[in-house]
Structure 1
Amino acid sequence: MKISRHCLRVENPQELVEFYSGILGMRDFGKPDEPLLGYDGDQCLLELTGGASSPYRSRPDGLYWKIGITVRDLDTAVAYLATRGCAVTAPRQFKDIGYMSHLHDPQGFAIELLQQGFEGRAGAPGDGHPIGGQATLAHITLRVNDINAARDYCENRLQMRLMSVQPVEDYGFCLYFFAWSDEALPEPDLKAVANREWLWARPYALLELQHVFSGHATEPEPGSSAAGFTGFGWIGGDMQAHQYVPLRDLKSLL
């Protein structure tokens, strides 16, 4: 099984189709009125649904945090974004987590660009689009307060596997990464730094949970047509249709 859909409700899907395809180099694998954006049709795709009644408001304490995209050469990607007039943070190595930059799409959704290797360990960016030729739609990032409940939900109910645990104690959080994967880790210790570059290079999506030690993550009760993250989809085996984990289930992790 694998994560196959990263689902957002938005005000104007076409505006985001133009941004993600024109700027970030994604392809549209969907229909004109049902866009599915990504870099490989067999990997996770961004599923955009229109009809949001109000603009999206990103919140630093919200359940949903960001879209994660991994690239082989971050400096090349950021230099290209600068030529397109995009506001993107300068690349930096964040502790022993990864070499990264951040930006927002035109409707306010946060995006993290994460190099598959640490700073100074870029790979070849590839041919074609400066981002699309080297990228994977890789992470769905959520904030949670109750990590025990979150692990129980992911590991027991969804039968996902915990792939990595990355403490960032001086910032007040710890990162947990889950996937449907039976690949052997380079190191059996889930906290091993040696696993991280390997993890960032996986050709499949991961569910990333940021456990907030202060327990301040919240999710208000929005209207049914509010803009924002609506859940994620998965598929595997002989399944003919994608199954979905809706936002209402994920809110129980707060």
Structure 2
Amino acid sequence: MKFKGFSLHINHPEETLSFYQDIIGFRLVEQYQVENHTIFCLESKARGYDLELIYNQESENINYAHEMQDNYWKYSLFVDDIKRVYHRLNQIKHATGEAYQFGDIGYLMHTADTESHKIEFIQKTFEQHSRQTVSNDLFFLKEQPVLGLLTIRTKDLVKMLRFFESILGLKLFVRMYVEKGEGFTLYFLGDRELVPPNPDIDAIENREWMYQQNHLFIEIQYYWGSEYKEGFDLCRNKRGLKSINFVGNLETVKEKLLLYEVQFVERETSIIFNTLDAHEIIVTQAI
């Protein structure tokens, strides 16, 4: 099983593709049609991981707006020099927050794409470990970012971790406690073959190590005590994240889904099912 990438809904393909290709530096590797949907597959420096943009010609042209109770939050791009990226985005007056060192979490800044999907830039090192890097004039940002994190939310942490580890074959590498607002914890999972510098998931050195990988991780945000909050329910925003995509052996996936009593829909070359927090998972047969 391999985590392949994720899919986002878009309304304005021409403008959005221009942003991702001309500004961010992603490469369009494939474009195809499925009924009334056009799907654009984009690749970053982390080869083998795709950001899919899905345009439905028949959908209402309603802009995406993130809500705190959405089961999807953001995705993150790993960069060598966050100040350089901040400067380049400001040159074209693309709205972005300032870069800052957030505790021992990371050196980061926040912005959004042209469809209002939230983007977090994370420098591969903490601010105090910043180093001079050679700029690459082939890309507008003077470098090509790595598609590094997909951030989703859960109300049942134990079941969600078991879901991604036991059914989808990922491994937990990093945990971060964040005392912001009412508090939350972040859990980071990636492919099992990765080897962190420290087996302790709370080790600080594992964080910069993670940001330096040409690899896509799943980040799970858990609000402390959210499972007990009356009226707090995570839901899928139909204008944001469409699906989380994997490739693997479909027979093996079916066996695991039946074992854990997870309902699924079987198609010719894929299986579709949901997490308990309503994230759509698509597993495509590995070639």
TM-score higher than 0.5: yes
**CA spacing shift, 1:41–1:179, aligned 2, 3 Å:** closer
Render the CA deviation track for 1:117-148: whole Å, top value 9, x for unaligned.
00032351541214373410111101111111
Bigger Cα displacement from structure 2, 87-96 vs 16-25: 16-25
Q: Percent identity?
A: 26
Take 1:132 and 1:162, find their aligned partners in 2: how far apart are those partners? 32
2:41 is equivalent to residue 45 of structure 1: no
For 1:58, the equivalent position in structure 2 comes to: 66
**CA spacing shift, 1:252–1:105, aligned 2, 3 Å:** closer
Aligned-partner residue type, residue 119 of structure 1: E
**CA spacing shift, 1:149–1:62, aligned 2, 3 Å:** same
Take 1:245 and 1:117, find their aligned partners in 2: how far apart are those partners? 37
- Of residues 239, 245, 250, the one that matches 1:227 is 239
Take 2:170 and 2:116, find their aligned partners in 1: how far apart are those partners? 30
2:186 is equivalent to residue 186 of structure 1: no
- Of residues 76, 88, 102, the one that matches 1:68 is 76
Take 2:95 and 2:69, find their aligned partners in 1: how far apart are those partners? 22
2:133 is equivalent to residue 121 of structure 1: no
**CA spacing shift, 1:232–1:131, aligned 2, 3 Å:** farther
Preserved contact between residue 70 and residue 236 of structure 2 (Cα < 8 Å): no
**CA spacing shift, 1:176–1:116, aligned 2, 3 Å:** same
For 2:233, the equivalent position in structure 1 comes to: 218
Bigger Cα displacement from structure 2, 72-81 vs 1-10: 1-10
Bigger Cα displacement from structure 2, 179-188 vs 156-165: 179-188
Q: Give the alignment's TM-score, normalised by structure 1.
A: 0.87
Render the CA deviation track for 1:173-196: whole Å, top value 9, x for unaligned.
011001113222111111000111
For 1:95, the equivalent position in structure 2 comes to: 103
Deviation for aligned residue 1:103: 0.5
Preserved contact between residue 46 and residue 216 of structure 2 (Cα < 8 Å): no
**CA spacing shift, 1:97–1:25, aligned 2, 3 Å:** same
- Of residues 87, 91, 100, the one that matches 1:83 is 91
**CA spacing shift, 1:202–1:2, aligned 2, 3 Å:** farther
Any gaps of 5 or more consecutive residues in structure 2? 33-37, 250-267, 280-287
Take 2:269 and 2:244, find their aligned partners in 1: how far apart are those partners? 10
Preserved contact between residue 4 and residue 242 of structure 1 (Cα < 8 Å): no
User: Segments of 4+ in structure 1 off by > 6 A?
Assistant: none
For 2:258, the equivalent position in structure 1 comes to: none
- Of residues 277, 283, 286, the one that matches 1:251 is 277
Take 1:25 and 1:132, find their aligned partners in 2: how far apart are those partners? 9
Preserved contact between residue 163 and residue 275 of structure 2 (Cα < 8 Å): no
The higher radius of gyration belongs to 2
Q: Give the alignment's TM-score, normalised by structure 2.
A: 0.78
Any gaps of 5 or more consecutive residues in structure 1? none
For 2:185, the equivalent position in structure 1 comes to: 174
For 2:7, the equivalent position in structure 1 comes to: 7
Q: Aligned Cα RMSD in Å?
A: 2.6
Preserved contact between residue 66 and residue 140 of structure 1 (Cα < 8 Å): yes
How many matched pairs? 248
Aligned-partner residue type, residue 213 of structure 1: W
Aligned-partner residue type, residue 202 of structure 1: Q
Deviation for aligned residue 1:12: 2.0
